[in-house]
Amino acid sequence: MQNRYGKLASWIYHLDKPIGHSFGDLEYYQQRLTDCEGPILEPAVGNGRMFIPLLEMGFAIEGFDGSQDMLEYCQQECRNRGLLNTPTLQTFEQFSYDQRFAAIIMPAGSFQLITETASAMTVLRRFWDHLLPGGRLIMDIDPVESIVAEANAARSWTVGGDSLLTLTSHRADIDYVKQTTLSHLHYQHWQSGILQSAEIDLFRLRWWGVDELAFAMREAGFVDVVVSGDYQHGRQPCKGDRIISFEAGRPSR
């Protein structure tokens, strides 16, 4: 039940964050990848919000996700557009490709879904292994304050006139030792006021300090780590930034 993105969660995600929806990240990643000569990998592609626009821009991009329900949206959107390169069902810990990549990208804080530090280090090393010499890892995290902030909320989406999707989130725990939060996400599908289906997701996130993650990347073998605030490449993060980006390379030799 942890971070599983089931049927209702994926449906709501696709409504709330459709293909091409940008938080500023689509434009940033497009700019950072402009000179990329070689294939790109996006772990945790989700519904294809970023994956499909980058594919349509001409980038040679592969991807995977651990949720079959999320993947079905991405695969269907690819078919609708006549795109042949569709993501596969794989996990952070076990993904494998026959080729290596010129860049690996993880927008929207997806790396924070890996809540165990040892697992996160293993994934960083797998990223390193899957990069070509001179390849780059680019990814985002949320500032600590935005993760630990109070997260009780209720939202709804109307679908087809008489269907209603609701999401209620409740912060259940903050572990300041493991640097994780736990939220209970309640998803419900109503039709004409009658409950049709419901899901609960135990949603965990791990927060990282800026220097901590930069150190972890170096420990995994990356070099030339650049940390940027609010999608302004090279500007040091500061208080109030909404997103923090990391870019690091695999050595050329």
What are the pLDDT digits (tens) for 169-179?
Answer: 999 999 999 99
Together in a domain, 123 and 227:
yes
Q: Going by C-beta distance under 8 Å and a sequence separation of 6 or more, which residues neighbour residue 145? A: none
Say if 2 falls within a structural domain: no
Query: What is the CA 146 to chain-centroid distance, rounded?
Result: 16
What does the mean pLDDT of the chain come to?
95
Quote the tokens at residue 57.
Answer: 């821009």
Together in a domain, 52 and 108:
yes
CA distance linking residue 208 with residue 239, whole number of Å = 15
Q: Mind listing the pLDDT tens digit for each residue in 58-105?
A: 999 999 999 999 999 999 999 999 998 889 999 999 999 999 999 999
pLDDT at 129: 97
CATH number of the domain at 47, please. 3.40.50.150
Together in a domain, 216 and 115:
yes
pLDDT at 38: 95
pTM of the model: 0.95
pLDDT < 50 regions, the chain: none
Query: What is the CA 162 to chain-centroid distance, rounded?
Result: 32
Buried b (16+ CB within 10 A) or exposed e, 161-195: eeebbbbebebeeeeeeebbbbbbbebbbbeeeee
Together in a domain, 115 and 75:
yes
Identify the domain containing residue 159 by its residue range. Answer: 145-206
pLDDT at 1: 56
* Domains held by the chain: number: 2
Together in a domain, 40 and 164:
no
- Which amino acid does the sequence have at 117? T
Quote the tokens at residue 179.
Answer: 């640097």
